[in-house]
C-alpha cells in the first residue's frame, strides 16, 4: 500500500477546496479476495423428471423473501464541487495548451509490485466441451450460495437434452460426465457475487434466494463465476459453460410464446452471456458476440418499457401495504434501470475495445441514474427504509451530463455505478461530436446558391484542426477533472486505495484524446508482417505521427493517464473484463507516442535548465516524470506544456523517448497482461503486443 497520506500523493487533487478534503463520494465496491478457492468435481446427479422449458419463460420477478445474509456495502457521502469563480486558464476549454495547476509538487511513496503468478497449463481433452469439475468438499459454507433443488434439476434436464445428447445436428456432444453438483454451482455463484457483481451490479441478491432462482440466469451467473476459478481448470470449463448457456438461450428464443416478450431474468442472462462470449478469449465466441450486439438494444428497450410499471398505490392502499412489499417493488424498479444501463455500458465497451459501431447512444440514456450502492445493497428492509427516505430523485444520464458540462459539478449523492456511467457518457458525447465533424457536409453553411463540392474538406478530416471540436474536447477534459477531484477525495478517505471509478477516469482520457483505431490498425499491420510501404500502412502511420506531433499537448495528457492505468491495474485490479483491453490499448498508446513523438535535443534541454537555475532553485522545472506513479498537478501541467524536454520514466522503461523506450513499454504491457488471466481476452492482446514487440525490435515500423 502506498503512502497513507494519500491526499498528498494523489493525482489532480484540488487541495484548496475544503469540501473535497472533508469527505469522499460513495465507493460502494469493495476489492475482491485474491483467493478463488479450490476447484471441484461433482457426483452423478439424478435425471430430472421435469420437461425441458418448464418454468423457463415466467415473468414474475418478485422475490418471496428478502432474507439476505451477505453484508451490505458501506458508503459515504460525496463532496460537492467547489463553485468559486474560475480564473482564465483554469480550464482546458480556455484554449491554453495546459490549464493552471491546482497542487504543488510533493514527494510520494510507492508500493511494491506484487510478484507474478505462475502460468499453469492444462492438457487437452478428447471432447471440445466438458463440464468436468472437482468437488468443493473443503470449502467453508459461507463461500457458497444455496441452489434450489428445482433450479438445479431444471439445469440438469437442459444439460442432458442440449449438451449430452443434443437434438440439434450442428451441436457437438459434451463429454458424458455428470452436471456439476448443487454445491459446485453454489461455489460458482459465490465467485460471481464476490467478483463480478461490483462490475455490473444489476441483479439484486434477494433474487438469488432459493425460492426466486431462475435456472437460465443461474447458469449464466455460474458461467461468469467460472472465470474466477484457478487457471488450471478455468478455460475448458468456462468455454463449455458459455456454450451450454448459448444453446439454452437459443432454445428459449425459439420456444417463447407468440406475442409474449422475454422476461427480465432472461434478458439479464443474455447480457451476461454476451459479456462472457466477447471476453472469454475464444475467437469464434467473440465473433458470435459481435453478431449478437443487437441483443443489447433489445435488453435496453425491454427494461425501459418495464421501468415505471410498478406504479405508486393510492393513499389508502399504500397505508395497508407492508414494508416488505414496498421494498420488493423498489428492487424490481431499480433492477430494471440497472440492467438497462448495464446493457448501455457493455455496448460502449464493445465499441471501444473491438472497434464496432454502437447500438445505444447518449439519447437513449433517458432513465434515472442508479441509486447509491449503500441503498442498493441494504441487507434488511429497516436499513433500506432509513436510507430510502433520505434519498432524492436521481436525474437521467443526459441531465447529469448537462450538469457536469455546464455547471462543472457533480451531486454528492451519486453512487459508484452512476459515476462510471457518467464517465462513459462523456465518451458517447465526444463520439457524437466526432461523427458530426467527420462528415464534410457538416462544414458547409447552408445557402440557396449553387456551390462546388470541391470547397468541402476531404476525408479523413483532421478533427483537432477544427476549433469547435477542440473546444468540446477541452470541455470533456474539464468534466473529467471534476470527477477526478472527487475520486481523489475518496482515495484519501481510504488511505490511498483506489476504487474502480479511477481506472475508468484514466481510460476516458485515452479514449477521448487518442486515435485508438488508427494506432491499433497500425500495430496489427506491423505485427502481422505486412509491408510498411503499402499505401494503407503509410496513411495510417502518417495519421498517428500527426497526432503525436501536431496534437502533442493532448497526446502527452493521454500518455500520463495511460501510465496511471498501469499503476491502478498493478495494485487495485478487480479482475474486470475490461482491464486487459485497457492495459493493451494503453501499452499501444505509449509505444506510438514514444515511436512518433518529438523529443528536443540535449543542447536545448541544457540551455533551458541553465536558465531555470538562474531564476531560482524552487522554480526549476523537473527534468523527469514518472508516468505510472501518482503525480502532483503542477508536474502534470509542466509535462503537458513542455514534456518534449523531459525524460519519461515508468516501471521497466528508462525513458520512453530513448532508444528501446517504446519496446520497453510494450514489454511492460505484456508483463501486466500476463497477470490478468481471469478473462481469456488477455491472450489475443498478448499475441498482438508480442508480435508488435518482435517487429519493433527488428526496426521495421519506422
**Paired strand residues for 134:** 41
Q: What is the DSSP letter of 588?
A: H
Taking residues 133-153, what's their average pLDDT?
Answer: 72
Terminal CA-to-CA distance of the chain, rounded, Å? Answer: 40
| All residues at 6 or more sequence positions from 670 whose CB lies less than 8 Å from its CB, including other chains | 587, 686, 689, 690, 693
Q: Give the HSE-up count for residue 380: Cα atoms under 13 Å, Cβ half-sphere.
A: 3
Cβ burial 123-139 (10 Å sphere, 16+ → b, else e): eeeeeebbbbbebbeeb
> 660-692: per-residue pLDDT in tens?
999 999 999 999 999 998 998 999 999 999 999
Q: pLDDT higher for 277 or 90?
A: 277
Handedness of CA 175, 177, 179, 183 (dihedral sign): negative
Handedness of CA 198, 200, 202, 208 (dihedral sign): negative
Distance between CA atoms of residues 336 and 373, nearest Å: 15
CB 676 within 8 Å of CB 579: yes
CB 199 within 8 Å of CB 207: no
Cβ burial 275-295 (10 Å sphere, 16+ → b, else e): bbbbbbbbeebbebbeebbeb
Q: Give the HSE-up count for residue 431: Cα atoms under 13 Å, Cβ half-sphere.
A: 22
Taking residues 482-509, what's their average pLDDT?
Answer: 94
Q: At what angle do helices 535-550 and 579-596 cross, to 10 degrees?
A: 80
Q: Please tell me whether residue 527 adopts helix, strand or coil conformation.
A: helix
> 394-450: per-residue pLDDT in tens?
999 999 999 999 999 999 889 999 999 999 999 999 999 999 999 999 999 898 999
Distance between CA atoms of residues 30 and 41, nearest Å: 30
Determine the pLDDT at residue 148.
Answer: 86
Distance between CA atoms of residues 227 and 238, nearest Å: 6
> Cell for 364?
437513449
| All residues at 6 or more sequence positions from 327 whose CB lies less than 8 Å from its CB, including other chains | 66, 381, 384, 385
Distance between CA atoms of residues 222 and 203, nearest Å: 14
User: Is 323 a residue whose pLDDT tops 60?
Assistant: yes
Residue 46: band (very low, low, confident or very high) from pLDDT cuts 50, 70, 90: very low
Distance between CA atoms of residues 606 and 685, nearest Å: 40
> 191-233: per-residue pLDDT in tens?
999 999 999 999 988 666 644 678 999 999 999 999 998 764 5
Distance between CA atoms of residues 515 and 523, nearest Å: 12
Residue 601: band (very low, low, confident or very high) from pLDDT cuts 50, 70, 90: low
Distance between CA atoms of residues 306 and 322, nearest Å: 23
CB 527 within 8 Å of CB 688: yes
Distance between CA atoms of residues 618 and 616, nearest Å: 6
Task: Tell me the CA distances in angstroms from 389 to 62, 386, 392, 470, one per residue in order.
Answer: 22, 6, 8, 43
Distance between CA atoms of residues 442 and 463, nearest Å: 12
CB 171 within 8 Å of CB 261: no
Burial (Cβ within 10 Å: 0-12, 13-18, ≥19) of residue 583: buried
Residue 256: band (very low, low, confident or very high) from pLDDT cuts 50, 70, 90: confident
If one counts every other C-beta atom within 10 angstroms of the C-beta of residue 465, the result is: 12
Burial (Cβ within 10 Å: 0-12, 13-18, ≥19) of residue 634: middle
Distance between CA atoms of residues 551 and 465, nearest Å: 9
Q: At what angle do helices 633-642 and 552-572 cross, to 10 degrees?
A: 140
Element of type H or E holding 648: strand 647-649
Distance between CA atoms of residues 296 and 606, nearest Å: 56
> Cell for 627?
508516468
Closest CA to 240 of 257, 256, 227: 227
Peptide bond into 460 cis (omega under 30): yes
> 335-386: per-residue pLDDT in tens?
999 999 999 999 999 999 999 999 999 999 999 999 999 999 998 888 899 9
**Which has the minimum average pLDDT: 312-326, 368-382, 501-515?**
312-326
Distance between CA atoms of residues 468 and 443, nearest Å: 11
Determine the pLDDT at residue 102.
Answer: 58
Q: What is the DSSP letter of 61?
A: -
| All residues at 6 or more sequence positions from 76 whose CB lies less than 8 Å from its CB, including other chains | 23, 24, 25, 26, 27, 490, 493
Q: pLDDT higher for 591 or 495?
A: 591
Distance between CA atoms of residues 578 and 346, nearest Å: 10
| All residues at 6 or more sequence positions from 378 whose CB lies less than 8 Å from its CB, including other chains | 72, 384, 387
User: Is 622 a residue whose pLDDT tops 50?
Assistant: yes
Distance between CA atoms of residues 526 and 693, nearest Å: 10
Amino acid at each position: 500500500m502506498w503512502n497513507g497520506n494519500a491526499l498528498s500523493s494523489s493525482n489532480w487533487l484540488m487541495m484548496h477546496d475544503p469540501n473535497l478534503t472533508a469527505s469522499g463520494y460513495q465507493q460502494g465496491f469493495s476489492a475482491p479476495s485474491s483467493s478463488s478457492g479450490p476447484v471441484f468435481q461433482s457426483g452423478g446427479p439424478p435425471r430430472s423428471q421435469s420437461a425441458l422449458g418448464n418454468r423457463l419463460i415466467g415473468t414474475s420477478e418478485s422475490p418471496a423473501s428478502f432474507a439476505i445474509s451477505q453484508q451490505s456495502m458501506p458508503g459515504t457521502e460525496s463532496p460537492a464541487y467547489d463553485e468559486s469563480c474560475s480564473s482564465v486558464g483554469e480550464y482546458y476549454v480556455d484554449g491554453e495548451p495546459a490549464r493552471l495547476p491546482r497542487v504543488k509538487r510533493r514527494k510520494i511513496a510507492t508500493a511494491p509490485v506484487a510478484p507474478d503468478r505462475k502460468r499453469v497449463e492444462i492438457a487437452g481433452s478428447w471432447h471440445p466441451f466438458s463440464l468436468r469439475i472437482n468437488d468443493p468438499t473443503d470449502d467453508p459454507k459461507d463461500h457458497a450460495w444455496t441452489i434450489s433443488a428445482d433450479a438445479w434439476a431444471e439445469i440438469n434436464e437442459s444439460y442432458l437434452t442440449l449438451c449430452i445428447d443434443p437434438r440439434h445436428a450442428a451441436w457437438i456432444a459434451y463429454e458424458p460426465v455428470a452436471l456439476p453438483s448443487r454445491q459446485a454451482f453454489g461455489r460458482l455463484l459465490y465467485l460471481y457475487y464476490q467478483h463480478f457483481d461490483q462490475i455490473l451490479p444489476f441483479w439484486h441478491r434477494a433474487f438469488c434466494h432459493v425460492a426466486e432462482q431462475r435456472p437460465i440466469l443461474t447458469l449464466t451467473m455460474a458461467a461468469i463465476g467460472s472465470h474466477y476459478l484457478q487457471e488450471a481448470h478455468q478455460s475448458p470449463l468456462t468455454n463449455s459453460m458459455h456454450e451450454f448457456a448459448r444453446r439454452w438461450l437459443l432454445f428459449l428464443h425459439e420456444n417463447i410464446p407468440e406475442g409474449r416478450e422475454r422476461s427480465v431474468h432472461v434478458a439479464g442472462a443474455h447480457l451476461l452471456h454476451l459479456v462472457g462470449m466477447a471476453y472469454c478469449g475464444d475467437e469464434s465466441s467473440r465473433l458470435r458476440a459481435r453478431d449478437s450486439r443487437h441483443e443489447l438494444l433489445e435488453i435496453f428497450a425491454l427494461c425501459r418499457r418495464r421501468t415505471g410499471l410498478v406504479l405508486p398505490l393510492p393513499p389508502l392502499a399504500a397505508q395497508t401495504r407492508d414494508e416488505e412489499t414496498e421494498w420488493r417493488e423498489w428492487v424490481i424498479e431499480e433492477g430494471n434501470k440497472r440492467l438497462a444501463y448495464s446493457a448501455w455500458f457493455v455496448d460502449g465497451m464493445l465499441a471501444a475495445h473491438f472497434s464496432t459501431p454502437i447500438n445505444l447512444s447518449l439519447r437513449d440514456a433517458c432513465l434515472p441514474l442508479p441509486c447509491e450502492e449503500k441503498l442498493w445493497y441494504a441487507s434488511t428492509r429497516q436499513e433500506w427504509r432509513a436510507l430510502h427516505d433520505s434519498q432524492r430523485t436521481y436525474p437521467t444520464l443526459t441531465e447529469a451530463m448537462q450538469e457536469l458540462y455546464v455547471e462543472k459539478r457533480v451531486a454528492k449523492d451519486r453512487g459508484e455505478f452512476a459515476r462510471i456511467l457518467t464517465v462513459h457518457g462523456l465518451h458517447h458525447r465526444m463520439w457524437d461530436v466526432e461523427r458530426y465533424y467527420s462528415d464534410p457536409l457538416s462544414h458547409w453553411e447552408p445557402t440557396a446558391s449553387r456551390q462546388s463540392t470541391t470547397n468541402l474538406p476531404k476525408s479523413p478530416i483532421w478533427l483537432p484542426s477544427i476549433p469547435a471540436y477542440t473546444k468540446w474536447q477541452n470541455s470533456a477534459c474539464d468534466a473529467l477533472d471534476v470527477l477526478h477531484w472527487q475520486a481523489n477525495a475518496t482515495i484519501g478517505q481510504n488511505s490511498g486505495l483506489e476504487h474502480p471509478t479511477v481506472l475508468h477516469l484514466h481510460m476516458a482520457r485515452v479514449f477521448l484524446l487518442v486515435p485508438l483505431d488508427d494506432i491499433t490498425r497500425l500495430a496489427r499491420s506491423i505485427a502481422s508482417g505486412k509491408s510498411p510501404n503499402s499505401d494503407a500502412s503509410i496513411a495510417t502511420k502518417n495519421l498517428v505521427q500527426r497526432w503525436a506531433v501536431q496534437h502533442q499537448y493532448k497526446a502527452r495528457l493521454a500518455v500520463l493517464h495511460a501510465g496511471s492505468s498501469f499503476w491502478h491495474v498493478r495494485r487495485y485490479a478487480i479482475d474486470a473484463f475490461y482491464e486487459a483491453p485497457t492495459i493493451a490499448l494503453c501499452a499501444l498508446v505509449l509505444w506510438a507516442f514514444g515511436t512518433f513523438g518529438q523529443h528536443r535535443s540535449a543542447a536545448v534541454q541544457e540551455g533551458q535548465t541553465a536558465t531555470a537555475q538562474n531564476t531560482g532553485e524552487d522554480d526549476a522545472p523537473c527534468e523527469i516524470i514518472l508516468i505510472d506513479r501518482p503525480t502532483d498537478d503542477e508536474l502534470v501541467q509542466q509535462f503537458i506544456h513542455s514534456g518534449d524536454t523531459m525524460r519519461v520514466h515508468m516501471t521497466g522503461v528508462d525513458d520512453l523517448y530513448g532508444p528501446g523506450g517504446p519496446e520497453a513499454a510494450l514489454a511492460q504491457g505484456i508483463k501486466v497482461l500476463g497477470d490478468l488471466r481471469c478473462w481469456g481476452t488477455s491472450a489475443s492482446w498478448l499475441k498482438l503486443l508480442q508480435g508488435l514487440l518482435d517487429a519493433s525490435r527488428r526496426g521495421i515500423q519506422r
